């Protein structure tokens, strides 16, 4: 299944987050060594960068089936059974992310009602939960797409490294 | 009946020792009907989640660091304000008892969904410096000091130094390599991280403390029979808080002894210096209290009851 | 069902799901959630899943993982791993089994800037495996050299496993990195020894190429930009000017700058490296998230405590308990993925181990070696899968047979760590 536009956008956002994390820390180091100015907020920016990377990066991982799995049964079982197992994985993935979305509602609501804030910059945490939900929605969409594909039994057995490295 | 007790603190921490002791007491007094299963080291969740664990029933009892979730426990956090303690003294046995006594009236609301078993206030954290002699407070200008929590961040800035966040376990190395010039820590922690070799000076008195709540979730409480509930109530409250505070005070005294023995000079601030400091931190205190009052909570009233 | 039985059932179902080729993260997460539902109720399972995921994804402590992955990816994109292999290859020219030795040495060197074994193995597979196959090396021997060498990625610092261990044990990551350097080098030498012993049977006779000693050493200096990167970033941790997070960021940034300056890295190559970093890191984070849920469930069943209590009621000596712990890690390593293993076991075993008077830093190194062993033990060995995934013609059986003799090396290192704890503790003692 070629990546759809949503996957590409999410992948780009996650990649941007990694670059922002790297540059923030480098800027912090440079300012500290050269000008002896500590950057206030580097800690928060890195944590938020990570959050964006994880929640937006899961959609491309799900879309390309880039998850690490153990495929020793592949040579032993008939193709029909393998197809069934893949369907099971896609179903499980979708089920998990739907459950996660529901499970995150409570704590997100709490973060909003209690006015939780980040430690360094005092950013309201509900905004981060909102970002996480956007990433999660994309992941659910990809899980749905994959389920539809698995129903048609795509013979694609790519695993994490191969995909990531290709 | 087994109570699942959760803390985010390392296995040998005083809280875990006290909760184990409490569990043994419960088992004995209930003839084994009520026991405690301890989950330390954040096995069930990190520090900021402990309260939610108890409130939702994922744990039955949890130890909550009030400052770990800024804004959730605004009243309890006031007990950790700089240079703020009951008139009777700033030993943990006194402060913990007082805060526990005030809990039903002032703190129950912000801990809704749980029963407060007891509150604890640590001995105030001290400032420690690697090589600068703090007899003159102006040496703090330009220094880099390791901190944790918003109050310490402001406090260090008020001294003219830069606050730097460093993980507790990395602090010793950060001091040795000059990444930071000092740190805020209780003596007990300087001992457990063995910091005497890399520190030259400690400043007394301590400035700001941390407040904790030991809470039992409503679900767990409702599950208990009336007799067991009574037992829980009898074995917690101000007396338990005082006993626990004593434990912390002893640890602190031990840590202080370790520091002196390790050649660290303990500098006591003069009354003049303290007065200057008080003046410098009063805007911080004022802003925090006003923030609570503005939110429609009796912050000032609570603070005057606490410092009485 | 008792909590104990439930715990065993949970672990059994997790293995079953793994063998039914369900993604590792999914198997861990599903068992964790369902187990929590049975043990508590749905709302508790939901709370732990919802907050656990958010907290893991926004935790500063783990942010070092994508940064070290990025450093490795950029270095690999700008051909540094290829140059390392090239240099090692010249150095071992004319030696029987030279390419196998070269791939182990190059993996060890690459491991010095890359925090993940999987990434190290993946990078080296593409470079070294085809060369060995072309030269007539036995398939199993060639693949096993890459798998074993790649596993050095998490022992030779930087190491993602040690970062995770440090966050659980509240131990200094800088110290852990210092402690694991010498054991990492020792393990590399042990792997080389195994490779030399096997070379007579499994390696083709060396070619007639003649390389002078001077040329060999000159070849070693050729990947200088790589050494610079190592000195500045990882050296910066040892000297104490960088935190691990800063070292990773500066290292990744430095790799980009070097790559652009030498024109070995194009803008396209950089973008691809960042995108690969996202996929690898997120696949790892999904496992960490799943493993957190699974660990959370297993911890509540008190399974590890009960096993430990059994050992204690049997009044076993500390030495025997330690031997049992090591054995348990080895057995678990055959079936489990490393991060999950660390999350489940360290909180339980660490107090016992330190109670016996062992140093937590030393134990961290021991755990890293055992996890590393787990990466290459059949049937579930991540490094083996990574290699299999990139070479379709290779059968899993060949790979399993090929790796067996290499397993002796980490086992020997474990024994050495017990006999000479200074192997791990000397360097941090000097540096800090
Ligand atoms: Na490494
Ligand atoms: Na294995």
Measure the CA–CA gap between C215 and C209, rounded to whole angstroms.
12
Task: Please report how the helices C244-261 and C173-202 are oriented relative to each other, as an axis angle in degrees rounded to 10.
Answer: 60
User: What pLDDT score was predicted for residue A1?
Assistant: 57
Average pLDDT, chain C: 87
Q: How far is the CA of B194 from the centre of ligand 1 (A)?
A: 29
Query: Is pLDDT of A156 > 50?
Result: no
pLDDT of residue A38: 62
Euclidean distance between CA atoms B28 and B23, whole angstroms: 9
Residues C71-86 have pLDDT tens digits of 888 888 888 888 888 8
Which tokens hold the place of B37? 């299963």
| pLDDT(C63) > 80 | yes
Q: Report the C-alpha gap between B308 and B85 in whole angstroms.
A: 8
Write down the pLDDT at residue C208: 64
CB contact under 8 A, C396 and A72: yes
pLDDT > 70? residue C32: yes
**Quick check: A150 pLDDT over 80?**
no
Q: Is B88 on the interface with C (CB under 8 A)?
A: no
pLDDT in tens, C117-157: 877 888 788 888 888 888 889 999 999 999 999 999 889 98
Choose among A114, A119, A120: nearest Cβ to B72.
Answer: A114
Are C345 and C294 in contact by the 8 Å Cβ rule? The answer is: no
- Cα C378 to ligand 2 centre (Å): 5
- CA–centroid distance, C365 to ligand 2, in Å, is 18
Give the mean model confidence (pLDDT) for residues C319-331: 90
Note the pLDDT of residue A160.
37
pLDDT of chain B, 308 residues: tens digit per residue: 899 999 988 777 899 999 999 999 999 999 999 999 999 878 888 888 999 999 999 999 999 999 888 888 999 999 999 989 999 999 999 999 999 999 999 999 999 999 999 999 999 999 999 998 998 888 998 888 988 777 888 889 888 888 887 777 778 877 877 778 999 999 988 887 888 888 999 999 898 999 999 999 999 999 999 999 999 999 999 999 999 999 999 999 999 999 999 899 999 999 999 998 889 889 988 999 999 999 999 999 999 999 98
Show the DSSP H helices in B131-266 as ranges.
Answer: 150-158, 171-176, 187-192, 218-223, 226-234, 238-261
Number of helical (H) and strand (E) elements in chain A, helices listed first: 5, 0
pTM to 2 decimal places: 0.86
Residue C374 CA to ligand 2 centre (angstroms): 4
Mean pLDDT for A6-34 is 93
Report the largest interatomic distance among the alpha carbons of chain C, rounded to a whole angstrom.
71
- Which residues in chain B have their CB less than 8 angstroms from residue C174's CB? 170, 173
How much distance in Å is there from the Cα of C286 to the middle of ligand 2? 19
Contact flag A43-B165 (C-beta cutoff 8 Å): yes
Q: Mean pLDDT over residues A127-156, rounded?
A: 86
Residue labelled with tokens 């036995």: C138
Nearest to C21 among A24, A85, A132 (CB): A85
Is C408 near chain B, with CB under 8 Å? Answer: no
A28 CB neighbours in chain C (<8 A) are 246
Encoding tokens for residue C107? 């993996």
Helix, strand, coil content of chain B in percent (nearest 5):
50, 20, 30
Q: How far is C301 from chain A (nearest CA, A)?
A: 22
Q: Does residue C336 sit in helix, strand or coil? A: coil
Spell out the residues 6+ positions from residue B226 whose beta carbon is closer than 8 angstroms to its own: none
Q: Considering only A124-128, A143-147, B19-23, C285-289, which range has the smallest mean pLDDT?
A: C285-289
Give how far Cα B35 sits from Cα of B2, B38, B86, B228, C299, Å: 5, 10, 35, 11, 18
**Please, which contacts does A113-117 make with residues 24 or more away whose CB atoms are closer than 8 Å?**
A114/B69, A114/B71, A114/B72, A115/B71, A116/B69, A116/B70, A116/B71, A116/B72, A117/B70, A117/B71
Read off the pLDDT of residues B273-295 as tens digits, 9 standing for 90 and up.
999 888 988 998 899 999 999 99
User: Do residues C362 and C180 lie in contact, with contact meaning Cβ atoms separated by under 8 Å?
Assistant: no
pLDDT at A151: 65
Give percent above pLDDT 70 in chain C. 99
CB contact under 8 A, A53 and C50: no
The secondary structure element, H or E, covering residue B5 is strand B2-6
Ligand nearest to the CA of C380: 2
Chain centroid, CA C324 distance in Å: 22
**Mean pLDDT estimate for chain B:** 91
Angle ∠(C239,C242,C246) on CA atoms, nearest 5: 150
Nearest Cβ partner of A116 from B71, B144, B149? Answer: B71
Residue C340 has a pLDDT of 74
Question: Between these two residues, B192 and C301, which has the higher pLDDT value?
Answer: C301
Do residue A85 and residue C283 have CB atoms under 8 angstroms apart? no
pLDDT tens digit sequence for C375-414: 999 877 888 877 877 777 888 788 899 999 999 999 999 9
**In this complex, which of A43, A68, A159 lies closest to C60 when CB atoms are compared?**
A43
Backbone angles phi, psi at B57, to 5 degrees: 95, 5
Give how far Cα A68 sits from Cα of A58, B131, C18, C52, C403, Å.
13, 51, 10, 21, 20
Calculate how close chain A gets to B248, using CA atoms only, in Å: 26
- Average of pLDDT values for A60-89? 86
Interface confidence (ipTM) of the complex: 0.87
With a cut of 70, say whether residue A162 has pLDDT above it: no
Predicted confidence (pLDDT) per residue in B58-72, tens digit: 999 999 999 888 888
The answer for residues whose C-beta is within 8 angstroms of residue A24's C-beta and 6 or more apart is A39, A42, A45, A46, A49, C249
- Peptide bond before residue C158 is cis, with ω within 30 degrees of 0: yes
| Residues of chain B contacting C170 with CB distance shorter than 8 Å | 10, 167-169
* Least confident segment among A149-163, B20-34, B81-95, C27-41: A149-163
Three-class DSSP labels, C383-397: HHHHHHHHCCCCCHH
Beta-carbon separation of B4 and C300 below 8 A? yes
Please state, in angstroms and rounded to a whole number, the distance separating the CA atoms of residues A84 and B266: 71
pLDDT digits (tens, 9 = 90+) for C409-432: 999 999 999 999 999 999 988 877
Given a contact cutoff of 8 angstroms between Cβ atoms, the answer to whether B82 and B209 are in contact is no
**What part of A 37-56 touches B (C-beta under 8 Å)?**
38, 43
Q: What is the pLDDT of residue B186?
A: 92
């Amino acid at each position: 299944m070629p990546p759809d536009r949503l996957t590409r956008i999410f992948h780009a956002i996650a990649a941007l987050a990694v670059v922002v994390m790297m540059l923030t820390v480098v800027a912090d180091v440079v300012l500290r060594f050269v000008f002896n100015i500590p950057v206030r907020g580097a800690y928060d920016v890195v944590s938020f960068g990570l959050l964006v990377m994880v929640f937006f990066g899961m959609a491309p991982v799900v879309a390309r089936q880039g998850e690490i799995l153990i495929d020793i049964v592949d040579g032993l079982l008939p193709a029909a059974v393998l197809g069934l197992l893949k369907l099971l994985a896609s179903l499980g993935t979708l089920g998990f992310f739907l459950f996660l979305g529901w499970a995150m509602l409570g704590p997100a609501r709490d973060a909003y009602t209690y006015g939780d804030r980040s430690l360094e910059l005092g950013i309201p945490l509900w905004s981060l939960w909102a970002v996480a939900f956007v990433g999660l929605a994309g992941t659910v969409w990809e899980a749905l797409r994959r389920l539809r594909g698995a129903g048609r039994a795509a013979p694609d057995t790519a695993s994490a490294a191969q995909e990531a490295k290709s | 009946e087994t109570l699942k007790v959760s803390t985010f603190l390392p296995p040998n921490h005083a809280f875990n020792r006290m909760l184990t002791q409490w569990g043994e007491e419960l088992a004995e007094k209930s003839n084994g009907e009520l026991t405690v299963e301890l989950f330390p080291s954040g096995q069930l969740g990190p520090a900021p989640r402990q309260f939610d664990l108890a409130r939702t029933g994922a744990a039955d009892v949890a130890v909550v660091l009030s400052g770990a979730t800024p804004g959730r426990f605004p009243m309890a956090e006031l007990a950790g304000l700089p240079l703020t303690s009951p008139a009777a003294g700033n030993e943990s046995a006194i402060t913990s008892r007082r805060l526990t006594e005030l809990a039903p009236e002032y703190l129950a609301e912000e801990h809704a969904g749980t029963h407060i078993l007891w509150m604890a206030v640590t001995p105030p954290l001290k400032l420690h410096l690697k090589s600068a002699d703090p007899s003159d407070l102006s040496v703090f200008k330009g220094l880099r000091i390791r901190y944790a929590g918003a109050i310490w961040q402001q406090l260090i800035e008020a001294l003219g130094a830069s606050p730097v966040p460093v993980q507790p376990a990395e602090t010793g190395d950060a001091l040795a390599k000059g990444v930071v010039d000092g740190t805020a820590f209780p003596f007990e922690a300087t001992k457990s991280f063995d910091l005497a070799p890399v520190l030259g000076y400690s400043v007394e008195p301590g400035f700001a403390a941390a407040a904790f709540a030991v809470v039992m979730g409503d679900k767990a409480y409702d599950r208990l029979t009336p007799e067991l509930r009574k037992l829980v109530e009898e074995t917690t409250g101000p007396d338990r808080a005082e006993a626990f505070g004593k434990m912390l005070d002893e640890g602190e005294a031990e840590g202080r002894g370790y520091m002196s023995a390790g050649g660290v000079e303990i500098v006591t601030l003069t009354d003049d210096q303290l007065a200057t400091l008080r003046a410098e931190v009063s805007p911080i205190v004022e802003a925090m209290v006003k923030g609570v009052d503005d939110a429609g909570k009796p912050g000032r009233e609570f603070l005057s009851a606490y410092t009485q | 069902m008792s909590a104990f039985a439930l715990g065993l059932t949970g672990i059994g179902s997790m293995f079953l799901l793994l063998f039914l080729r369900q993604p590792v993260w999914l198997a861990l997460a599903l068992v964790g959630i369902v187990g929590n539902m049975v043990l508590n109720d749905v709302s508790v399972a939901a709370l732990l899943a919802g907050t656990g995921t958010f907290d893991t994804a926004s935790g500063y402590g783990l942010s070092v993982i994508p940064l070290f992955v990025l450093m490795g990816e950029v270095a690999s994109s700008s051909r540094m791993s290829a140059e390392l292999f090239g240099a090692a290859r010249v150095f071992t020219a004319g030696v029987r089994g030279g390419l196998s030795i070269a791939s182990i040495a190059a993996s060890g060197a690459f491991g010095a800037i890359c925090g993940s074994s999987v990434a190290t193995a993946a990078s080296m597979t593409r470079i070294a495996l085809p060369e060995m196959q072309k030269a007539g090396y036995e398939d199993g021997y060639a693949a096993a050299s890459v798998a074993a060498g790649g596993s050095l990625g998490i022992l030779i610092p930087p190491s993602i496993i040690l970062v995770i261990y440090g966050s659980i044990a509240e131990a200094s990551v800088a110290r852990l990195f210092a402690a694991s350097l010498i054991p990492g080098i020792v393990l590399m030498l042990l792997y080389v020894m195994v490779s030399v012993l096997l070379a007579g049977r499994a390696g083709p006779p060396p070619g007639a190429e003649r390389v002078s000693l001077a040329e060999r050493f000159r070849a070693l200096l050729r990947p200088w930009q790589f050494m610079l990167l190592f000195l500045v970033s990882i050296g910066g941790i040892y000297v104490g000017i960088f935190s691990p997070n800063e070292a990773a960021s500066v290292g990744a940034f430095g790799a980009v700058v070097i790559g652009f300056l030498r024109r070995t890295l194009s803008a396209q190559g950089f973008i691809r490296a960042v995108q690969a970093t996202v996929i690898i890191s997120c696949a790892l984070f999904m496992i960490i998230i799943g493993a957190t849920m699974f660990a959370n469930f297993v911890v509540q069943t008190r399974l590890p405590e009960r096993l430990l209590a059994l050992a204690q009621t049997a009044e076993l000596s500390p030495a025997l308990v330690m031997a049992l712990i090591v054995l348990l890690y080895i057995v678990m390593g055959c079936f489990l993925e490393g991060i999950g293993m660390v999350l489940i076991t360290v909180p339980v075993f660490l107090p016992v181990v330190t109670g016996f008077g062992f140093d937590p830093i030393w134990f961290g190194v021991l755990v890293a070696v055992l996890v590393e062993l787990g990466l290459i033990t059949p049937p579930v060995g991540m490094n083996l899968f990574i290699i299999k995934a990139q070479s379709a013609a290779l059968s899993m059986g060949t790979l399993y047979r090929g790796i067996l003799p290499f397993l002796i090396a980490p086992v020997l290192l474990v024994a050495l760590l017990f006999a000479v704890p200074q192997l791990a503790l000397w360097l941090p003692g000097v540096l800090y």
